[in-house]
Chains A and B, each alone.
Chain A
């Protein structure tokens, strides 16, 4: 089984709808991240969490919210989806001991009509 899983893998929604993207990890890591990837723009950090009680905004948090339900679960919500939120969304985890890599999920492809 994959260490970092994301659901759903693909989602089509309409403008104004609220949607939630979920991430689960079995690596026992404290730190979790949400990124979005747009063609030609690389990955941009949306939110990150260094433990269950610590949540921080990233570069592009407007229009998004997150919830860290447990060490292993980190959800990203779009309260009212808009077309320019169409993108590929990645969840990642890291151990937080400094100098470690991040482990990425397979991504969720979101299309907002």
Chain B
């Protein structure tokens, strides 16, 4: 059974710093990995999706990397802003045409102004 772990569970950093969030998974036979953002009282918003054949994806100040063989992904946030405060979730999918997702428990990020 696939298990996804995110460490740390919570992180606080001053505004302007660069930071890295970590995600690890036990079964490397994944189709893709996604990073989501969850704001209190709201649903999940997809940030980045990395196919298993890719090494990284970038969107603005966000960069996600994937090392499938070691079962790890990182989400790098550059020049953090208070608006980045949220819970970040990573999730892996099982296979093509099978988009069932297995989620990590998330990292709650607080950016201190």
Which residues, 74 to 98 on A, are CB-close (under 8 Å) to B?
90, 92, 94, 96, 98
Are B101 and A45 in touch, CB under 8 angstroms? yes
Complex: A101 Cα to B91 Cα, angstroms: 10
Q: Does A1 contact B (CB under 8 A)?
A: no
How many residues of chain B are within 8 Å of chain A by beta carbon? 24
Give complex CA distance A111, B6 in Å: 27
Q: Which residue of A lies closest to B47 (CB)?
A: A101
In the complex, which of the residues B4, B31, B46, B99 contacts A42, with contact meaning CB atoms closer than 8 Å? B4
- Whether A96 contacts B43 by the Cβ 8 Å rule is no
Q: Are B100 and A42 in contact (CB under 8 A)?
A: no
Number of interface residues of A (CB under 8 A): 25
Interface-facing stretch out of B61-69, B74-82, B102-110: B102-110
Which residues of chain A in 36-64 are interfacial with respect to chain B, using CB atoms and an 8 Å cutoff?
Answer: 40-45, 48, 58
With an 8 A cutoff between CB atoms, is B34 at the interface? Answer: yes
Interface string of B87-113 (1 = CB under 8 A from A): 001010000110111011110000000
Which residues of chain B have a CB within 8 Å of any CB of chain A? Answer: 4, 31-32, 34, 36, 41-46, 49, 51, 89, 91, 96-97, 99-101, 103-106
Which residues of A come within 8 Å of B, CB atoms? 4, 31, 33, 40-45, 48, 58, 90, 92, 94, 96, 98-107
